[in-house]
Structure 1
Amino acid sequence: MNKRTDIEVIINNKRYTLRGYESEEYLQKVATYINNKYAEFKKQDFYRSLDTEMKNVLMNINVADDYFKLKKQQEQVESESDKKSEEIFDLKHEIILLQTKLESAQNELAATKSEYLEEQKKVIRLETELNESRKNR
């Protein structure tokens, strides 16, 4: 198990100690995300007029909104990935079928070439016999 990490961060101009089993970099990234959310809200005129409880509720709603949007995006990516995997499987299957057909066609071509050569030999033999029989007459 990872060891517990304690890190002091400043969120919304207040000092907090975050504790967790994640890295310091990760915990700092979380604090930075929250600070960026506060900065976004502070730019809005309406935010200043809200009481502390409403500000906290608004923050929670926005973080939850980000979470659900990212979760939906991840599900879409996973769905697309599954579809791509299925397409790849189907294409590999099609390649194998086409390779089998190609091998079969190559074997058939080789057999036909062999038959053609045998037939050419017969033609040459028959022409030779015909020429010899004409000479012998």
Structure 2
Amino acid sequence: MNEAQKNRLTISIFGQQYTIVGKASPNYIRMISGYVDEKMREIAKSNQRLDSTKIAVLTAVNIADEYFRLKQEYDELLKLIEDEE
């Protein structure tokens, strides 16, 4: 992938600025960044004594949990479809 194919975008997550570089569209990068920011703020609101590192780790664990639950549901649906064929 050459530089012409990459998008560079500066976003803010939990009050910190990050530069994201990748093939995803700017809108997609903003959407994902907004989702992470929202999750971090939810965790910070309910755990006001945690520092930002712990909030980030808890956010990562929560998002990983969401991912694995959705992946399991997806795999189960694929199996159902395959069994019907």
TM-score (normalizing by structure 1)? 0.53
RCO higher in structure (CA 8 A, sep ≥6) = 2
Which has the larger strand fraction? Answer: 2
Structure 2: state its 5+ residue gaps: none
Secondary structure in 2 matching 1:75: helix
CA distance in 1, matches of 2:51, 2:73: 33
Q: Structure 2 vs 1, CA of residues 67 and 33 (structure 1 numbering), >3 Å: closer, same or farther?
A: same
Q: Deviation at 1:26?
A: 1.4
Structure 1 residues 28-57: Cα deviation after superposition (integer angstroms, max 9, x where no partner): 11101101211221331xx21123332222
User: What is the aligned partner in structure 2 of residue 42 from structure 1?
Assistant: 44
Q: Deviation at 1:3?
A: 0.5
User: What is the aligned partner in structure 2 of residue 7 from structure 1?
Assistant: 9
Following TM superposition, the consecutive aligned residue runs of length 4 or more in structure 1 with deviations greater than 3 angstroms are: none
Task: Mark the structure with the bigger radius of gyration.
Answer: 1
CA distance in 2, matches of 1:67, 1:31: 16
TM-score (normalizing by structure 2)? 0.80
Q: CA RMSD in A?
A: 1.8
Identity of aligned residues (%): 28
CA distance in 1, matches of 2:7, 2:74: 28
Secondary structure in 2 matching 1:22: coil
CA distance in 1, matches of 2:17, 2:52: 18
Structure 1: state its 5+ residue gaps: 87-137
Which has the larger helix fraction? Answer: 1
Q: How many residues align?
A: 83
User: What is the aligned partner in structure 2 of residue 79 from structure 1?
Assistant: 79
Structure 1 residues 49-100: Cα deviation after superposition (integer angstroms, max 9, x where no partner): 123332222122112111111111211221122233x1xxxxxxxxxxxxxx
